[in-house]
Structure 1
Amino acid sequence: MSSFVERVRSDPKNICVPVLAIAAVAAVGGAVVLTSRYLQADHVRTVHKRAAQKKYRALLSDLAECKGILSYIDSQEIPKAQQLATEAEQIMSQIAQGGANEAEQAALQTRLQAIRMDIMGVGEQLLRLMEKVDGVAPALVLEAAGLEPWAEHEKELRDKALSDGLGAVFDLASDLRAIRKGLIHKAERRARKVDSLKKITAVAV
């Protein structure tokens, strides 16, 4: 230490070498810390993106299943309900014309009641479908990405997602929301149709 002091006293420029060395070490250390933090943040971001994509695929599969159920109801159950409603109208016309004895009248009324229950069954299928679609919450994608969709306003949440490099997660959630909305609207239209068919049988029951 004394020799270093003597060298500095003899030539003040000698202090520059160790000072520069210390500065260089500090700079390298700082760069390492920054790099480490960046890599850590990038890793967290990647993990969140993968979790969001995994949840998106699962929810998309659920919606695809719902779409399949709706297609089945559309192609099989709705036409069946329409046929039953037509049969109900014929039965009511037959009842109105008279001529049937008491036992026949009772049989016709029983058949009308059965038709009504069958049509109501289609309506219940649609109700369960809408509940299933409603349970597919796009917000779960945001939650999987480490965001808190249940506690924040969407704008604040979007700003946070963008600052965290997770803006694409919102695109996934929006895609699910659009599909979900379309399915619900279709199911609601079918439900109104079934309800109108059910009312046909209610007149005579």
Structure 2
Amino acid sequence: AHSLFAALGRPEPGTRVVDATAGFGSDALLMARCFGLRVTVVERNPLVFALLEDAACRAAETVAGGIDAVFGGPVLFGDATEVLVELSGRQRLDIEEPAAVTDIVYLDPMFPRERVRKSKPDLAMQVLAACASHAVGTGGGPLSPGGPEGGSLEVERALLQAARRCAGRHVVVKRASSSSFFAGVKPSRQHVGTTNRFDVYLPEASARV
């Protein structure tokens, strides 16, 4: 949690974050409940999204404000790149409204090929892998649990570009400590832990007009 908080830039409560590859929402929940951030949650795998939405609905029964109060923002079904492009377009239209701006984009893309030589994954990863096997060929993309192993460099670059255009402050990408740079792009800074690291990218300057 400390490494993630540092990678996010030690944001103040209320900071707007988009977790564009949410999975079961564990990191999003940490950011919302422990750090007080307003997290928009995005997941494209239909099976994982159904489980995520159901869990959020159940949690919402115990808090005021409905499902949005669980993460501090909405839970959206959709492709990460497409959602980020749409959000970026809305922000340019609502440039006079600070509340519409996304401060940070968080990415934790799943790459099964990088886990092959590791020990048996935890239960959550096993379930995600099962969902991936079930959803291949049904629209899941290479950067979601519903896609084939790994992701093409072109797909990675498109996602990173969309994230950097959407984020007002920076983009944080969670990676295994030994993994290569996401999209082949060197980050501005890194926060390295024992098994994971967080690569931080600045917004795309040409998009901040």
Same fold (TM over 0.5): no
Between Structure 1 and Structure 2, the one with more strand by share is 2
Please indicate the TM-score interval, normalised by the length of the shorter structure. under 0.3
Q: TM-score with structure 1 length normalisation?
A: 0.20
- Higher Rg of the two aligned structures: 1
The structure with the greater share of residues assigned to helix is 1
Greater relative contact order: 1 or 2 (C-alpha under 8 angstroms, separation 6 or more)? 1
